[in-house]
Structures are given as C-alpha cells and as structure tokens.
Amino acid sequence: MRKTRTTTLATVLALGLTLAACGGADDTADSPTADTSPSAVPAPAPTEEDADDDRATDEDTDAGGSFDPTASGLAAVDVAETEAGGTAYQLDDEDGDGGWEVDVALEDRSVEVTVGPDSQVLGTEDDDLDDEDRAALDAATVPLAEAVQTAVAEVGGQLDGVELDDEDGTWVWEVSLDDTDGGDDVEVRVSTTTGEVVSADA
C-alpha cells in the first residue's frame, strides 16, 4: 500500500513539473510584456562619421546664404556704441569676413571698435575726432542705424559701409549697399536731420 502511494505521488510530481515547463515556455512567448517590435530595438550609437556628416550639413546651411550683412552691421553698431559709450558715425565692412569696424564718437575723441562676425568685441583703439564730424553729429537728429534702414528700404541690397559726408552743404549719411534691387552697388545719401533720401547713384 505504501509503495503504491509513493509511486502515485512521484507520478503526479513528474506530471506537474512537465506541465509547468511547457506552460512557462508558452507564457514567455505569449506574454504581453515581451516587446519584440522594431521600435524596441535600441538604435546604434552614432559614429564619428555620422558626426562629420552633421557638421558638413551645418556648414552647408551657413554657406547657403543665411548670413545677412545688413543685420550683422546693425548689430555691430549696437555692440560698438554700448562698448564705447558714444554715438556711431562710421561703419566699415572688415574685409568681407562678416566683421566690422565701427567708429564711435565720444565727446572730443573717437573710438574704433572692431566687432567680429559673432558680434563679439575683438578690440578698441582711441583716436582724435575730426571737428567736422563732431559738428555734423551735434546737428544730426537721425542716427546711423536709422539711415541704413531707410537706404535699404529705398534700393534694397546688403550693407557694405556708412560714413558722414557733406552733400552740397548738407550733412548726409552716405550708405554703401551691394547687390541692390537694380543689380548695382549704390551709394544712398540720407539727410542726418530729416531722414529723407537726398540722392542715390551707382
């Protein structure tokens, strides 16, 4: 009798283990938590070649004409006036590299502020202020930046430089613009007192 019970118990245990093993395999395959979709597979780590491709794309965007000389020049004027604490009266394109030289009047002297393409001040240099420039600035009611905006609105184009000039006894901002709407490089003269365009010629 004892031998029969032992045999029966052993048979039941063996059958239970077999079913558990089979059921475990099925549960794993059918488990809703097992995610084998493509999105669950981790993306490969970026390689150095991928990074080079990204940099090349950024450079292409920059080279694609996103640089605006007029906006850059006006930003340089703002930076230079803040740096020197005076009034900008001359602006020169720094060899076409996106930088600018801005002359700022400060009482009886001038400060030349060199501003890089990223609107960072690269250096300053003190100089004397010409008496005529001082007199023109004292009489001016239209700032350099406003004259640039007026000139661009008149003929289009991109800013190349600005200086004070005497036009038949009238002080003007002479704004040099490249690639204007007419296809020429144009000098636009804007009155320093009225803000009106006095003349424009290639």
- CB-based contact 80:91 (threshold 8 Å): no
Q: Domain 69-201 class?
A: alpha beta
**Does pLDDT of 6 surpass 50?**
no
Q: For the whole prediction, is pTM greater than 0.85?
A: no
Residue 39 has pLDDT above 70, yes or no: no
pLDDT in tens, 81-128: 999 999 999 999 987 688 999 999 998 899 999 999 999 999 999 999
36 burial type by CB count under 10 A (0-12 exposed, 13-18 middle, 19+ buried) = exposed
Domain boundaries, the chain: 2-66, 69-201
What pLDDT is attached to residue 94?
83
Residues 18-30 have a mean pLDDT of 48
| 158-167 β-sheet, strand order | 121-128, 109-115, 99-106, 87-94, 158-167, 170-178, 186-191, 197-201
Q: What pLDDT does 80 receive?
A: 98
Range of weakest confidence among 32-36, 93-97, 148-152: 32-36
Q: Give 3's contacts (C-beta < 8 A, 6+ positions apart).
A: none
- Quick one: pLDDT band at residue 55, thresholds 50, 70, 90? very low
**Residue, of 164 and 5, whose pLDDT is higher:** 164
CA distance 151 to 142: 13
Residue 28 or residue 193, greater confidence:
193
Give pLDDT tens digits for 59-85: 343 444 578 999 999 999 999 999 999
Q: What is the mean pLDDT of the chain?
A: 79
Calculate mean pLDDT across residues 178-193.
93
